[in-house]
Amino acid sequence: MTTAQRPTLEAVARRAGVSRATVSRVVNGSTTVAEPIRKAVRRAITELGYVPNLAARSLVTQRTDSVALVMPEAATRVFSDDQYFPGIIRGAAQELEEADKQLVLMLAGSPAGHERVERYTTSRHVDGVLFASLHGADPLPGRLARLGIPVVCSGRPLGGTLVPYVDVDHIGGVNRAVQHLIDSGRQRIATIAGPQDMVGGIERLTGYQAAMTPAGLPEWVAYGDFTRESGVAATRRLLAEHPDLDAIFAASDLMAHAALRTLRATGRRVPDDVAVIGFDDIESAAYTDPPLSTVRQPIQEIGRRMTRQLLRLAAGEPIEPAVVLPTELILRDSG
Amino acid sequence: MTTAQRPTLEAVARRAGVSRATVSRVVNGSTTVAEPIRKAVRRAITELGYVPNLAARSLVTQRTDSVALVMPEAATRVFSDDQYFPGIIRGAAQELEEADKQLVLMLAGSPAGHERVERYTTSRHVDGVLFASLHGADPLPGRLARLGIPVVCSGRPLGGTLVPYVDVDHIGGVNRAVQHLIDSGRQRIATIAGPQDMVGGIERLTGYQAAMTPAGLPEWVAYGDFTRESGVAATRRLLAEHPDLDAIFAASDLMAHAALRTLRATGRRVPDDVAVIGFDDIESAAYTDPPLSTVRQPIQEIGRRMTRQLLRLAAGEPIEPAVVLPTELILRDSG
DNA sequence: CCAGCCGGGGAGAGCGTTCTCTTGACATTG
DNA sequence: CAATGTCAAGAGAACGCTCTCCCCGGCTGG
């Protein structure tokens, strides 16, 4: 049961008949070690099963080789079945794996949780911090950035904070979707907007308006919070106020899905009577009835790019303050 | 731009006019410090904004205050829209937050990734390892356990490895579901089984058989991998071989959803002609058409319990080698 | 009244790395 | 051939913390 003492640099050095410094050089890939010695050290390492002690290394290098990914646990969308959360994680994990760094996940749900995240991240326990799906104008990213800690956000941070971010072209994507509705003859196009304390929510609404206003069409808006429940309620509100609407753009696929069902429940046919387009392109979008047209955003790529930017930042390289990835209109049957 | 030097124990000690040892005692909550001194130290800490250096602490305590959560990235279900992945994470994160420990997420997708996970976890860089959703008979958990590293799996590990685990009562839940189908008069009940290299896949099939065999009913099985795509294919196969089936139990909601659609595409009505019951109770189960009956498993609770067990193990406390959580039959409209 | 205790606090030795200096062995040059 | 340069490798000092002694002063009991 007792654990064998883990071999240290010292042990490897003794075994290979060299100094600790040389072993360290070999481990860290310095070129200034003669081949035979390098070989001997390598053998000693494998024979002893030596693995560097990261804590000791961190202590002297002042690096931790880990980055934090902070997500607001409360965010309904994060834990519903759209794939934002796993997508970001997966992208980040892939990119970090290549850099041989660790991913520390922090959920900043409760105020206590948020405080904990702040304490942890400000204390240089990680080499950088990734923020996903921020709500409102969280001051934390800006504060960290001012402390000189590398920070990258998914989605442009609200509140004028100057923090590098990676986002998708919400406005352009939505604009294209709504334009498509207009082009196919729809005249009474409503939207189910997302929460207005998140960039995604705000900009998708802007995209809708950017298409409607120039066309001189009336703008009908109901607000949801990206979830199905809110989508049902919003659709009902829209139908109550505008029974004759002939299209709905929903700011999330979950809400679009809810719209689909609610429309059908009221006897409307999709897309014959009402066209519906969503946003996200979640996996189940292809499996709704009818299959949902939607604006696809490359979630996993967001995670990758965020991470890449962060690693650059941590390495002291310059980065562009904003990366905006394209969105794509996916036309299926609903609109 | 230059980062202010972080204050150390030393600095706090000087400021408070005591020794490092005393500050350490205060920080770690030792009782043998007189109140006035304790107060002085506390003040010095806040004035200087002192935060302990975790690396230095780890170096001497041999603890890291972090645990790894390992997930097979390749697992289709992990990144599809069922909520297994986020659920486990959330449960684990909540429990770890209370213990003030960090969650290090590792995706063991590629062989290289798996090797990386092994290297990292065997090297005592974490206080314990959580394995989620294992495929086949992975030797890693057993190996770690033998090294004396605390390990807990979600789902009974295959291959006879003796590692503590937390699982749900697959067999009981499925048994109840199929029994319900039988009780409501169904006679030709097929099943879409999950992958047979995962406990969940195996046991859900066992549960089906455990209900069918005693009833003397024919057992019709098609295999899928928990995804919608595989569900479509499996349903088609079942229909081709047994056009007269009157019920399907699917080992995942995703496959059940696919069955729903495929059945309808062939002109069958659910539940009138064919009843369908799934497994998981994912969020969208209530939003399928018709709403899906299913066996609910408490995913988040699995995450919590795994973590609690792991923390006990890490603290040297004894734990029960297996925790099995109950499942619940949720009857909606599909069966 | 003194030995013995005990609680509060300090001194100092590590923990396992990295990294700067320094040394020593050759090779190169004028 | 001496002086200089180059390169490989070692010595040893941090890094910031915990924890085991150890000491000091005051209190108790015989």
Per the CB < 8 A criterion, the answer to whether B307 and B96 are in contact is yes
Best interface-test mutation with A: which of B287, B289, B292 has the largest number of A CBs within 10 A? Answer: B287
Domain boundaries, chain A: 9-52, 66-168+299-325, 170-296
Nearest CB to B3; choose among A3, A106, A148 = A148
All protein residues with a CB under 7 A from any atom of strand D: A 17-22, 31-34, 37, 56, 59-60; B 5-6, 8-10, 20-21, 24, 27-28, 50, 52-53, 56-57, 59-61
Predicted structure pTM score: 0.92
State the alpha helices, DSSP H only, in B17-79: 20-27, 35-48, 54-61, 76-79
Q: Between the ranges A113-117, A119-123, A262-266, where is the mean pLDDT highest?
A: A262-266
| CA dihedral (B247, B329, A256, A69) positive or negative | negative
Give the pLDDT score at A35: 84
Give the pLDDT score at A135: 78
Q: How far apart are alpha carbons B247 and B335 in whole angstroms?
A: 8
Nearest CB to A107; choose among B90, B107, B282 = B90
**Nucleic strand C within 7 A of Cβ B34:** yes
Average pLDDT over residues B255-276: 96
Residue B258 pLDDT exceeds 50: yes
Per the CB < 8 A criterion, the answer to whether A203 and A197 are in contact is no
Q: How far apart are alpha carbons B122 and A6 in whole angstroms?
A: 10
Q: How far apart are alpha carbons B299 and A198 in whole angstroms?
A: 28
Give the pLDDT score at B136: 78
Per the prediction, chain B carries an average pLDDT of 91
Identify the band that residue A19 occupies on the pLDDT scale cut at 50, 70 and 90: confident
Residue B2 pLDDT exceeds 50: no
Residue B159 pLDDT exceeds 90: no
Q: Indicate the helix (H) or strand (E) that contains B255.
A: helix B253-265
Q: How far apart are alpha carbons A165 and A154 in whole angstroms?
A: 6
Q: How far apart are alpha carbons A35 and A45 in whole angstroms?
A: 15
Which amino acid, residue A32?
T
The larger pLDDT score, comparing residue B146 to residue B212, is at B212
Residue B75 pLDDT exceeds 60: no
Per the CB < 8 A criterion, the answer to whether A81 and A75 are in contact is no
Per the CB < 8 A criterion, the answer to whether B167 and B154 are in contact is yes
Considering the segment(s) B170-296 as one domain, its CATH architecture is 3-Layer(aba) Sandwich (3.40)
**Nucleic strand C within 7 A of Cβ A50:** yes
The larger pLDDT score, comparing residue B111 to residue B53, is at B53
Which amino acid, residue A68?
A
Least confident of A166-180, B31-45, B244-258: B31-45
Residue B161 pLDDT exceeds 50: yes
Nucleotide nearest to B16 (CA to C1'): C9
Q: Is A42 exposed, middle or buried (0-12, 13-18, 19+ CB in 10 A)?
A: middle
Q: Cβ B93–A107 below 8 Å, yes or no?
A: yes
Q: Alpha carbon of B233 to those of A288, A296, B75, B242, B271: distances in Å?
A: 18, 26, 19, 14, 20
Residue B74: closest CA among A90, A156, A145, A195: A90
Give the pLDDT score at A3: 47
The nearest CA of chain B is from the CA of A131 a distance in Å of 16
Residue B17 pLDDT exceeds 70: yes
Number of cross-chain residue pairs from A and B with Cβ atoms under 8 Å apart: 129
Write the class of the CATH domain B66-168+299-324: alpha beta
Length of chain A: 335
Residue A77 pLDDT exceeds 80: no
Least confident of A163-177, B87-101, B295-309: B87-101
Residues in chain A with CB shorter than 8 Å from the CB of B82 are: 81
Residues in chain A with CB shorter than 8 Å from the CB of B86 are: 78-79, 85-86
Residue B299: closest CA among B257, B253, B255: B253
Q: How far apart are alpha carbons A95 and A308 in whole angstroms?
A: 7
Residue B4 pLDDT exceeds 60: no
Give the pLDDT score at B76: 53
Q: Which residue of A has its CA nearest to B254?
A: A284
The nearest CA of chain A is from the CA of B185 a distance in Å of 29
Average pLDDT over residues A206-232: 96
Nearest CB to A81; choose among B81, B102, B119 = B81
Q: Tell me whether domains B66-168+299-324 and B170-296 share a fold.
A: yes
CATH dotted code for A66-168+299-325:
3.40.50.2300
Residue B82 pLDDT exceeds 80: no
Average pLDDT over residues A167-183: 97
| CA dihedral angle for residue B64, residue B70, residue B73, residue B77, rounded to 10 degrees | -140
Q: Between the ranges A74-83, B303-312, B314-323, where is the mean pLDDT highest?
A: B303-312
Distance of alpha carbon B87 from the chain centroid: 7
Report pLDDT digits (tens) over A279-318. 999 988 999 989 999 999 999 999 999 999 999 999 989 9
Identify the band that residue A33 occupies on the pLDDT scale cut at 50, 70 and 90: confident
Q: How far apart are alpha carbons B265 and B259 in whole angstroms?
A: 10
Average pLDDT over residues A18-43: 86
| Number of H-type helices and E-type strands within chain B | 13, 12
Report pLDDT digits (tens) over A186-214. 999 999 999 999 999 999 999 999 999 99
Tokens of A132: 């996903």
Q: Cβ A55–B59 below 8 Å, yes or no?
A: yes
Report pLDDT digits (tens) over A54-75. 999 999 999 999 999 999 876 5
B9-52 to CATH, choices 2.60.40.10, 3.90.1150.10, 3.30.70.100, 1.10.260.40? 1.10.260.40
Per the CB < 8 A criterion, the answer to whether B188 and B171 are in contact is no
Contacts of A96 (CB under 8 A, 6+ apart): A67, A102, A103, A307
Give the pLDDT score at B1: 37
In chain B, pLDDT over 70 holds for what percent of residues? 96
Contacts of A179 (CB under 8 A, 6+ apart): A211
Q: How far apart are alpha carbons A32 and A45 in whole angstroms?
A: 18
The b/e string for B14-35 (b: 16+ C-beta within 10 A; e otherwise) is bbbebeeebbbbbbeeeeebee
